Amino acid sequence: MENNILCVAHVDESGTTLPKVAYEALGAAIDLAAQYGSSLTIGLLGGEVQAAANSVGTVGAPILAVAGPEFEHPRYASDAAAVEAICRAASPDIVIVPGTSRFMRVMAGVAQRLNAKINTHVTSIDAGDGAVTAKRWFYRQRIEALIRREARPWFLVLDSGCHAACSGVPSTAAVQMLKVELPESAKRTTFCGIRTPSSSAQTIRPDAKLLFVAGAGWCKKQADGKTHLPEAETAILEFLRTSGASLGGSKSLVDQSGENQAVLGFMTHLNQVGQTGSTPRHPKGLSTCCHGEEPHVVGWRFVNERRAVNLDPNCGWARGKADVLYAADAFQVMARLNELLAKRATREEELVSQT
């Protein structure tokens, strides 16, 4: 029996809402609390928390918060002290935490301070047959583990995209503020800003509905015996802009960038999908000029609907790895697709201007 369930989250960079994964973690906490009939508490951390608290006001759970300028930005010492204070006030059995980069850095330390246990990269939490069961993947998403623990408190850090987000109309929420006095030693680190590689900032969009993957074929000699890199870059960037898709790459393609070969300028190793790359979660995926070999396709594990464009009708995608394979020239397909998307955008603009 889990008496108390706590969901802790930090306010996002806008200062007014929570990160998407925090609403998902809260959704998981609400479900678990309902399964056990447990009490649910929400913990919040940030510079200002009232607007974010209002966004989860309809949940009706008590809200504990640590707020103030010292808690606005990510910093191990202040974040850990704040979450520790929230946990001590709530005395939870289970703590459900969104797997943001800010929280991934501090939660193991907080669990240690509370003599708690922790599991990260959790993909589901279930009351199952009477005991809480958390799932996570190992060995590049090939082995799924079911984890149960006797020890409490138990921290479960949930990955993004694994649970339906809790939603509700914002309503004024009562927030109980906790005072955390930070010693000088906890303020030594100052926050200067967030720097992301420009390519990843523009092209990696974990919340996009579509993953668009480019393979090495985009940089290969085409039927006319020449490469067409500028055309490839324009077609891909145009598509990303109009569709809002996230950009992935095959290992062959991103390695070429590292080897200073003529490549797509915006593609980095951060984009690599696959066994030695990432395993992004998107409802749909479109692969272009990529052969669909197993070490690449293993990264598509959590992409639900897969389509591929390849000149080779015998490519890896044709062997049961894609739902639909277009045996076609990706340059032509993307040009046509961009044309259709541009037409759609113009139509939408016209409709907006008419209303």
Ligand X SMILES: Cc1cc2nc3c(=O)[nH]c(=O)nc-3n(C[C@H](O)[C@H](O)[C@H](O)COP(=O)(O)OP(=O)(O)OC[C@H]3O[C@@H](n4cnc5c(N)ncnc54)[C@H](O)[C@@H]3O)c2cc1C
- The residues binding ligand X (CB under 6 A) are 215-217, 220, 222, 250-253, 272-277, 289-291, 293, 295-296, 299, 309-312, 315, 329-331
Please tell me the distance from the alpha carbon of residue 122 to that of residue 210, in angstroms, as a whole number: 23
Is 323 or 349 the residue whose CB approaches ligand X more closely? 323
Please tell me the distance from the alpha carbon of residue 203 to that of residue 270, in angstroms, as a whole number: 10
With beta carbons less than 8 A apart as the criterion, state whether 268 and 200 touch: yes
- Phi and psi at 168, nearest 5°, equal 175, 160
With beta carbons less than 8 A apart as the criterion, state whether 93 and 2 touch: yes
- What is the residue-wise DSSP string for 256-311? HHHTT-S--TT--GGGBBSTTSB---EEEEEEES----HHHHGGGTTEEEEEEEES
Please tell me the distance from the alpha carbon of residue 337 to that of residue 343, in angstroms, as a whole number: 10
With beta carbons less than 8 A apart as the criterion, state whether 53 and 65 touch: yes
Is 134 or 232 the residue whose CB approaches ligand X more closely? 232
Is 115 or 260 the residue whose CB approaches ligand X more closely? 260
Encoded tokens for 282: 């998107």
Is 283 or 295 the residue whose CB approaches ligand X more closely? 295
CB of 340 to ligand X, least distance (A): 18
Closest by CA position to 86, among listed 116, 60, 131:
116
Is 4 or 222 the residue whose CB approaches ligand X more closely? 222
Q: Is 141 exposed, middle or buried (0-12, 13-18, 19+ CB in 10 A)?
A: middle
Please tell me the distance from the alpha carbon of residue 157 to that of residue 165, in angstroms, as a whole number: 15
CB of 157 to ligand X, least distance (A): 24
Cβ atoms within 10 A of the Cβ of 130, count? 8
CB of 337 to ligand X, least distance (A): 13
CB of 331 to ligand X, least distance (A): 5
CB of 322 to ligand X, least distance (A): 12
CB of 291 to ligand X, least distance (A): 3
CB of 352 to ligand X, least distance (A): 35
Is 33 or 232 the residue whose CB approaches ligand X more closely? 232
CB of 271 to ligand X, least distance (A): 10
User: CA neighbours within 13 Å on the CB side: how many for 287?
Assistant: 35
Is 154 or 218 the residue whose CB approaches ligand X more closely? 218
